[in-house]
Every structure is written in structure tokens, then in C-alpha cells.
Amino acid sequence: MTSIRPLTESDLPAVAGIYAHYVRESVATFDETPPTVDEWRSKAGGIAAAGLPFLVAEAGGAVAGYAYLSQYRPKPGYRHTLEDSIYLAPGHTGRGLGRLLLGELIERARRTDGRQLIAVIAGTDDTSSVKLHAGFGFAEVGRLREVGFKHGRWIDTIVLQRPVH
């Protein structure tokens, strides 16, 4: 059985491990060094202090993925624009967990003063993230060409947007 619930302190090592996989093995993030559990603790604290959700998908008693909302950019004028981040544990993709997490993030975004949701997705041959977001009404609003460099190649980012309400 799969459940979506708020992050707890005991989830942080699993979250760090999931993200570390994407740092090392993919271009889904442009980070090149995985954050530590303490760095994740700080990030989660900042998200909570902003009144935003940090959720985990639990399957079979283990963290199978996570998702959170953050302010799109740090400047005060962006305070009503939120960005989603979703990562699934290897072996748990293609099972609908991303859909569950994104649906719950959108529902919780409606309880904030957010007006717009943004998704910034690495433009690769894997279109699953774009399709996931499109299924929730996100529309592509731009593409930034060759803005990331990782694993010896240049990568575009695709910017998607939808209203919170």
C-alpha cells in the first residue's frame, strides 16, 4: 500500500539517498555533489518555516519518493510563485507515485498564498516529467537552451507553469 504523508526527521536519510542517486546518475538535477542529511534537514526546516509542504510517498514501509514546494526564486517579489520538486526512488518509477505526489502538492499549494506553480525540468530524451506535469494542467512557457552542463554534455531546461487555483 502506498501513502503520501508529511516528511519526518527519520525520512531524511532516505530523501538524501534518493537525491544522491539523481546527482550521481542523471541530469535531473544540476547538482554535482549530493547534499548531506544535515543539509537536507536545513532545507526541510526552511520549507516548513515558509509554510510549504514537504511530502514523502511511502510504499511497503519505505520512502519511495518525495516532493516539496519552494519559493521559485529567493527575491521577495517571487513570494507568490512556487516551484515543485519531485524525486522517486530507483525502482519506484512508472507506478503512479509521481502523480500522487504532484496531486497532493497542488492540493496543498491551494492552502498557501501562492498564485503560480512552476516546474523546471531538464530537457532530455526522458519526457515522463513533462507528461506528468501536463496531465495536471502545466503548460510549457519556455525553454532555456544549454544552460546546464553535466556528465560531459549541455542540457536545456523546460519551464512549465500553471495557476495554483
pLDDT at 66: 98
* H helix and E strand count, the chain: 4, 7
pLDDT at 87: 98
pLDDT at 36: 98
Quick check: 83 and 61 in contact, CB under 8 A? no
Quick check: 161 and 138 in contact, CB under 8 A? yes
For residues 59-82, average pLDDT: 97
Quick check: 108 and 115 in contact, CB under 8 A? no
Judge whether residue 71 has pLDDT over 90: yes
pLDDT at 100: 98
Give the model's confidence band at 10: pLDDT under 50 very low, under 70 low, under 90 confident, else very high: very high
Mean pLDDT of the chain: 97
pLDDT at 1: 83
Q: pLDDT > 90: what percent of the chain?
A: 97
**What is the rounded CA–CA span in Å between residue 17 and residue 25?**
12
Structural domain including 136 reads 2-163
Cell numbers 497532493 correspond to what residue? Answer: 104
**Residues 6+ positions from 111 with CB-CB distance below 8 Å:** none
In what order do the strands lie in the sheet containing 62-71?
A: 2-6, 54-59, 62-71, 81-88, 116-123, 153-163, 139-150
What would the pLDDT profile of 111-165 be if each residue is shown by its tens digit? 999 999 999 999 878 899 999 999 999 999 999 999 999 999 999 999 999 999 9
Quick check: 140 and 107 in contact, CB under 8 A? no
| pTM metric for this prediction | 0.96
CATH number at residue 7: 3.40.630.30
pLDDT at 123: 86
pLDDT at 23: 98
Total of domains in the chain = 1
